Amino acid sequence: MNTYETLIVEKQETWAEITVNRPEVLNAINLQVVKDLSAALDALAGDEDVRGLILKGAGDKAFVAGADIGELVKRTREDALLAINAGAFQKIEDFPWPTIAVIKGYALGGGCELSLACDIRLGAPSAQMGQPEVGLGIIPGAGAPHRLTRQVGPGMARELIYTGKIIDAEEALRIGLLNHVHPEDEVLEAAREMMRTISKKSPGAVRVAKLALNAAVNTVDRRSQYIEILGQGLLFDAEDQKSRMTRFLERKKKREQK
Ligand code: CO8
């Protein structure tokens, strides 16, 4: 059932699996990924064979290494105010059935935020997670200020966002960012096994449980989302953001010259 440029979408026993498929840029999220994700989520939410969703990245090096910086550097304040990543991630949070992110390698920036929009995160020992945005002159504007805070508590969320540090699987497990860590070649099967367990429960009860859980944890999220969106718009107007992102993109040229 794959009709997407940047995603592989497969139906399994009682759930669907979405693979972000841009391994050449560590599955970085560009506009096409957001469009494809949004369309795939709409289709799967209305598919009566689907009662769960597993999200993963192509290859072993990354879940998703963030928004595509080559594209971000060209974006304007108006683009930032459209909050397209935040909108797509909200669709994941609102997906009617349980969602599990399977994280191998990098889950950074928008990639970490994408995993935070899922109900459950399972990692491999190679998982590396973090919110490096402030180093690029922007904020994590697609949910981390509220979802990361909710997940790991305000102190840890502040530390991760202010320092931009990248943590390994063991640390992510310790602070509750990952639910479990499984060996590299077993983590996807662990997610599938969890889906099988869930699928034996009453579908109606699972669906209502998700609504109740979302209602319980989303009490301040709108207000926080608006601050994230407006703040990001301001930052996209600043020269600092352009020069920091350009510096990242120019690393490649520098490496080639060496
Ligand atoms: N965007 C675009 N390209 C990327 C990205 C990215 N986020 N991450 C990696 N790539 C590319 C690299 O440029 C490289 O391409 P090439 O082979 O053409 O040079 C390829 O992927 C492989 O990457 P590296 O050679 O860098 O691999 P390393 O193993 O040396 O390093 C890292 C891996 C540490 C993950 C490194 O690639 C890195 O630091 N990537 C950027 C991580 C990052 O900062 N992510 C956050 C981005 S900002 C964000 O997500 C916030 C979104 C806000 C939305 C606002 C909407 C308007």
Mean pLDDT (the chain) is 94
- The verdict on whether 250 is a catalytic residue reads no
Residue 258's pLDDT band (cuts 50, 70, 90): low
Report the residue count for the chain. Answer: 258
For the CA of 166, the nearest atom of ligand 1: 34
Who has greater pLDDT, 142 or 82?
142
pLDDT score, position 1: 60
CATH of 7-203, one of 3.30.750.24, 3.30.2010.10, 3.30.300.90, 3.90.226.10: 3.90.226.10
For ligand 1, say whether the CB of 85 is within 6 Å of any of its atoms: yes
Question: 102: which residues sit within 8 A by CB, 6+ positions away?
Answer: 54, 55, 56, 63, 122, 123, 124, 187, 188, 191
For ligand 1, say whether the CB of 64 is within 6 Å of any of its atoms: no
For ligand 1, say whether the CB of 33 is within 6 Å of any of its atoms: no
Chain-centroid distance of CA 21 in Å reads 14
Nearest to 197 by CA among 48, 15, 47, 56: 15
Q: How far apart are CA 53 and CA 103, in angstroms?
A: 14
Nearest to 173 by CA among 127, 142, 208: 127
pLDDT score, position 65: 98
| Tens digits of residue pLDDT in 13-36 | 999 999 999 999 999 999 999 999
Query: Cα of 182 to ligand 1 centre, how many Å?
Result: 25
Query: Cα of 133 to ligand 1 centre, how many Å?
Result: 11
Does the pLDDT at position 41 exceed 90? Answer: yes
pLDDT score, position 226: 87
For ligand 1, say whether the CB of 110 is within 6 Å of any of its atoms: yes
For ligand 1, say whether the CB of 89 is within 6 Å of any of its atoms: no
pLDDT score, position 221: 64
| Tens digits of residue pLDDT in 110-167 | 999 999 999 999 999 999 999 999 999 999 999 999 999 999 999 999 999 999 999 9
For the chain, what are the domain ranges? 7-203
| Closest C-alpha residue for ligand 1 atom 27 | 26
Lowest mean pLDDT among 41-55, 65-79, 112-126: 65-79
- The verdict on whether 159 is a catalytic residue reads no
For ligand 1, say whether the CB of 233 is within 6 Å of any of its atoms: no
Q: To test the ligand 1 pocket, which listed residue (32, 69, 76) has its Cβ within 8 A of the most ligand atoms? A: 69
Helix H segments across 76-176?
77-82, 84-93, 110-116, 144-152, 154-163, 169-174
Residue 81's pLDDT band (cuts 50, 70, 90): confident
pLDDT score, position 219: 63
| Tens digits of residue pLDDT in 202-256 | 999 999 999 999 998 876 667 888 888 999 999 998 899 999 999 999 987 777 6
